[in-house]
């Protein structure tokens, strides 16, 4: 071979050798328990930021394909309230209501959702509810809830800033829409 | 060394200690140094686990972006907690442990904190710039 080819070959085989060494080192680090999978230990702040940013961008882009309803009705908000109390309050709490005790053991910590409507569009909230969040304990709800139900949950999330602790605690007096309160069956939801 | 030399050294040590004590007190209008109230490092861990940042802006925490309650930076300098309680360590612990006992309608959740957890959290909060 000519000299130019020989030089190229040397550079590329050097690059390959470096990649193999790095790969082997990373593999060894994992196999020898170098990564701590404990939920008690968080990541460094820059890693937290990166993970969070990745999730935000993933949701923002993928939710563009979703068309939300034009407006949410009061029936949807009330239905969402019951669904939220049953499925969501356990991990996400509610106005005045803490999460279940064992939730402190989760990493990442499920957030309270009182201001999500300020941070996310409705279609993005729907995407998160429907798809869940990988590598967290947030389930995808599309296998278990209908689209109608999931939009109701989003409707309730949008209404959350109107809900005080006393409102939330008294389901049958809750009236987010200023009409006469409707009797609701006793909720199976979280009490504390 | 002579009596005068050791007295000078003791005086300087004493002044340094007094200065740091005054500095600590000036930084915290509650005049209780954070470490006397609780373990602020444990408090920082509890703040992360209890997801306080999902309602409150917390300096230097990625997850502290909430716009429900007030920002917690500089909370030690604030005169009143939740608009109703004078800001003292005892009141901060009281607020953390039973928000609805202070303000029935408040969105601040009752997190079921023990006295020690609340003290550790309060100690951490009082360190925030």
The string of DSSP codes covering A83-104 is HIIIIIHHHH-BTTBPPPGGGG
Distance from CA of A100 to the nearest CA of B (A): 9
Does the CB of B101 have a partner CB in chain A at under 8 Å? no
Cβ separation A114–B61 shorter than 8 A? no
Of B54, B60, B100, the CB nearest to A165: B100
Confidence of residue B17 (pLDDT cuts 50, 70, 90): low
Does the CB of B50 have a partner CB in chain A at under 8 Å? yes
For residue range B62-108, list pLDDT tens digits in order: 778 899 999 999 999 999 999 999 999 999 999 999 999 999 999 99
pLDDT for the residue numbered A179: 33
Which tokens go with B22? Answer: 């005054």
Does the CB of B2 have a partner CB in chain A at under 8 Å? no
Cβ separation A99–B68 shorter than 8 A? no
pLDDT for the residue numbered A172: 47
Most confident listed range (A162-166, B26-30, B115-119): B115-119
Does the CB of B65 have a partner CB in chain A at under 8 Å? yes
Cβ separation B109–A166 shorter than 8 A? no
pLDDT for the residue numbered A112: 97
Residue with tokens 């460094």: A44
What does the radius of gyration of chain B's CA atoms come to, in whole angstroms?
A: 18
Contact residues of A toward B, CB < 8 A: 42, 45, 48-49, 52, 93-99, 101, 104-115, 118-119, 161, 163-167, 192
Average pLDDT, chain B: 85
**How much of chain B exceeds pLDDT 90, in percent?**
66
Per CB-CB distance under 8 Å, the chain B contacts of A137 are: none
Cβ separation B107–A115 shorter than 8 A? no
pLDDT of B31 > 60? The answer is no
Residues B29-43, mean pLDDT to the nearest whole number: 77
For residue range A76-115, list pLDDT tens digits in order: 999 999 999 999 999 999 999 999 999 999 999 999 999 9
d(CA A64, CA A127): 9
Does the CB of B83 have a partner CB in chain A at under 8 Å? no
pTM (whole model) above 0.95: no
Ranges of residues in chain A with a pLDDT under 50 are: 172, 177-192
Per CB-CB distance under 8 Å, the chain B contacts of A108 are: 63
The phi, psi pair for A147, rounded to 5°, reads -60, -40
Residues B24-35, mean pLDDT to the nearest whole number: 55
pLDDT for the residue numbered A170: 82
3-state SS string over B72-126? CCCHHHCCEECCCEECCHHHHHHHHHCHHHHCCCCCCCECCCCHHHHHHHHHHHC
Strands B80-81 and B85-86 turn out to be: antiparallel
Of B49, B63, B109, the CB nearest to A96: B109
């Amino acid at each position: 071979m000519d000299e130019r080819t020989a030089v190229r070959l040397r550079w590329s085989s050097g690059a390959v050798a470096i990649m193999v060494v790095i790969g082997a080192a990373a593999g060894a680090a994992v196999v020898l328990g170098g990564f701590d999978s404990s939920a008690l230990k968080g990541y460094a702040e820059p890693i937290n930021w990166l993970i969070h940013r990745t999730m935000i961008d993933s949701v923002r882009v993928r939710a563009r394909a979703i068309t939300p309803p034009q407006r949410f009705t009061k029936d949807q908000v009330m239905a969402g309230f019951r669904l939220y109390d049953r499925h969501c309050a356990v991990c996400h709490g509610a106005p005045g209501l803490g999460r279940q005790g064992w939730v402190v053991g989760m990493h990442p910590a499920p957030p309270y959702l009182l201001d999500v409507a300020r941070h996310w569009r409705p279609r993005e909230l729907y995407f998160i509810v429907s798809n869940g969040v990988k590598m967290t304990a947030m389930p995808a709800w599309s296998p278990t809830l209908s689209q109608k139900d999931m939009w109701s949950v989003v409707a309730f999330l949008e209404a959350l800033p109107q809900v005080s602790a006393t409102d939330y605690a008294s389901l049958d007096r809750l009236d987010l829409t200023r009409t006469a309160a409707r009797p609701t069956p006793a909720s199976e939801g979280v009490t504390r | 060394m002579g009596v005068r030399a050791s007295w000078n050294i003791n005086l300087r040590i004493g002044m340094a200690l007094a200065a740091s004590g005054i500095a600590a007190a000036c930084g915290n209008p509650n005049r209780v140094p954070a470490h006397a109230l609780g373990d602020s490092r444990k408090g920082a861990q509890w703040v992360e686990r209890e997801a306080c940042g999902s309602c409150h802006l917390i300096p230097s925490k990625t997850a502290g972006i909430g716009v429900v309650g007030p920002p917690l930076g500089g909370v030690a300098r604030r005169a009143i907690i939740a608009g109703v309680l004078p800001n003292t360590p005892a009141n901060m612990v009281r607020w953390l442990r039973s928000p609805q006992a202070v303000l029935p309608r408040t969105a601040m959740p009752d997190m079921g904190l023990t006295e020690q957890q609340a003290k550790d959290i309060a100690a951490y909060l009082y360190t925030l710039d």
